[in-house]
Amino acid sequence: ALIVHEVQRNLEILRTETQDVPPRHRSMATVFEQSWRLLSNGERSTLRQLAIFVGTFDYAAAQAVTGATLPQLATLIDKSWIAATPTGRLYLHELVRQFTQEKLVGEHQLATGETEAAVQRRHSQWYGELLHRMEPLLQGQDQVTALQQIRAERTNIWAAWQWAVTQHAVPFFQAAAFPLWYAADTLGWFPEAIDAYTAAINALRAKMVGMQVGMPKAGEAPGLAMSLILAELLTYQAILYPRCGQLAQAQQNCTEALVHLQTLSTTPQQQFGMALAQMIHGWVLHDLAEDEAAVTALAAARAILDGPQHRWWLGQAELLLGLAVHSLGRHDEAKAHFMAAAQIWQALGEQRFRCFALGRLAELA
């Protein structure tokens, strides 16, 4: 473990003092430098930018971030600068990545006029857009495929999220908030997702304080967009907290989200945020055995969601209402809610929650 750590920390650990080895070959850094000078300017630019990736990545991501063509990437594979997995994903060996990362920081702007931040921005934007493309798939019959893709891109998604935190990147969080929650909830990434949401929430809170827009009125941009996404992040994180037994924190998140949203004028985005926060608050109240209050919150959420735009979430409201009224002994109402949820999800092709709703119906049969 110590050797691995040192290799990742410093290329110079691989220096050899063997006397029969030429001085130019006694350090991996020296060997890399010699090979580096044999590359074209375009190849060096591509490799510097590829250093932004963490773990494996696919050809599409490499092309989007670096602008390289498939033949250009293939050439770098042939030259052993890029490695490929048996499934066709690409990666840089850790020593290569360390070397090219140093080149990105120290040489890229001088060589191309482009900053490291611009490369990071493209990387973060690519993975934000990827997550956004996964949202309709996660809510339908292709959710397994979407989850597999998100799992494959896990390390780069976290890296993109972390950079977005440093930039207070509202568009990224708007694109990524739901897909990341769904993946974390399904794949069991609870602690790391909670930490990721915490970092984003704290960054946006600090930014809003700095902008003095703590509770903006409708139309005050960018404070309005920031308040909306802050409430959304708080709510998605609240769904994850009970998975770790943190009901009090989940309730606190919902309360804060509702406070933010209630200061805004009514818009479709504000209404959806209200419905989502009320629904998750109702779920938390149900877990706390406060089912009368849970039914009130869930019914309010259901009324907002009862339309064509948010059918997937309407299914969630029906399911949670079924759980709450069942706890109150109102079994016929529970059956109706579970049936409504199952029918909504059947129409959407959603299998995970449809099976859950059908299971609850079977228990009441």
Evaluate whether residue 159 is within a structural domain: yes
**Which CATH number fits the domain that encloses residue 335?**
1.25.40.10
**Which CATH number fits the domain that encloses residue 62?**
1.10.10
**Cα-atom radius of gyration of the chain, to the nearest Å?**
25
Query: Could you list the mean pLDDT of each consecutive 10-residue stretch along the chain, which spans 365 residues?
Result: 49 49 60 93 98 97 98 97 97 95 96 97 98 96 96 98 96 97 97 98 90 52 82 98 96 96 90 97 96 98 93 97 97 97 96 94 91
Predicted pLDDT at 93: 95
Evaluate whether residue 93 is within a structural domain: yes
Evaluate whether residue 255 is within a structural domain: no
The Cα–Cα gap between 206 and 331 comes to 47
| Integer angstrom CA distances of residue 338 from 232, 306, 311, 334 | 26, 15, 14, 6
Predicted pLDDT at 9: 53
Evaluate whether residue 239 is within a structural domain: yes
Evaluate whether residue 125 is within a structural domain: no
SS3 labels along the chain? CHHHHHHHHCHHHHCCCCCCCCHHHCCHHHHHHHHHHCCCHHHHHHHHHHCCCCCCECHHHHHHHHCCCHHHHHHHHHCCCCEECCCCCEECCHHHHHHHHHHHHHCHHHHHCCCHHHHHHHHHHHHHHHHHHHHHHHCCCCHHHHHHHHHHCHHHHHHHHHHHHHHCCHHHHHHHHHHHHHHHHHHCCHHHHHHHHHHHHHHHHHHHHHHCCCCCCCCCCCHHHHHHHHHHHHHHHHHHHHHHCCHHHHHHHHHHHHHHHHCCCCCHHHHHHHHHHHHHHHHHHHHCCCHHHHHHHHHHHHHHHCCCCCHHHHHHHHHHHHHHHHHCCCHHHHHHHHHHHHHHHHHHCCCHHHHHHHHHHHHHC
Predicted pLDDT at 30: 84
Could you tell me if 109 and 13 lie in one domain?
yes
Evaluate whether residue 76 is within a structural domain: yes
Evaluate whether residue 133 is within a structural domain: no
Could you tell me if 87 and 29 lie in one domain?
yes
Predicted pLDDT at 94: 93
Could you tell me if 238 and 273 lie in one domain?
no
CB proximity list for 346: less than 8 A, separation 6 or greater: 354
Q: How many beta carbons lie within 10 A of that of residue 241, not counting itself? A: 22
Evaluate whether residue 130 is within a structural domain: no
Could you tell me if 228 and 147 lie in one domain?
yes
Predicted pLDDT at 222: 53
Predicted pLDDT at 365: 83
Domain boundary among 114, 129, 164: 114
Could you tell me if 277 and 200 lie in one domain?
no
Q: What is the pTM of this model?
A: 0.88
Could you tell me if 17 and 103 lie in one domain?
yes
CB 199, CB 170: distance < 8 Å:
no
Across the chain, what does the average pLDDT equal? Answer: 91
Could you tell me if 221 and 158 lie in one domain?
yes
Q: What does the buried/exposed string (b/e) look like for 151-172 if buried means 16 or more CB atoms within 10 Å of the residue's CB?
A: ebbbebbbbbbebbbeebbbeb
Q: Which domain holds residue 1?
A: 1-114
The amino acid at residue 307 is: G
Q: In total, how many domains does the chain have?
A: 3
Could you tell me if 7 and 105 lie in one domain?
yes
Structure tokens at 313: 């979430």
| Integer angstrom CA distances of residue 47 from 71, 120, 122, 220, 326 | 14, 14, 15, 42, 59
The amino acid at residue 298 is: L
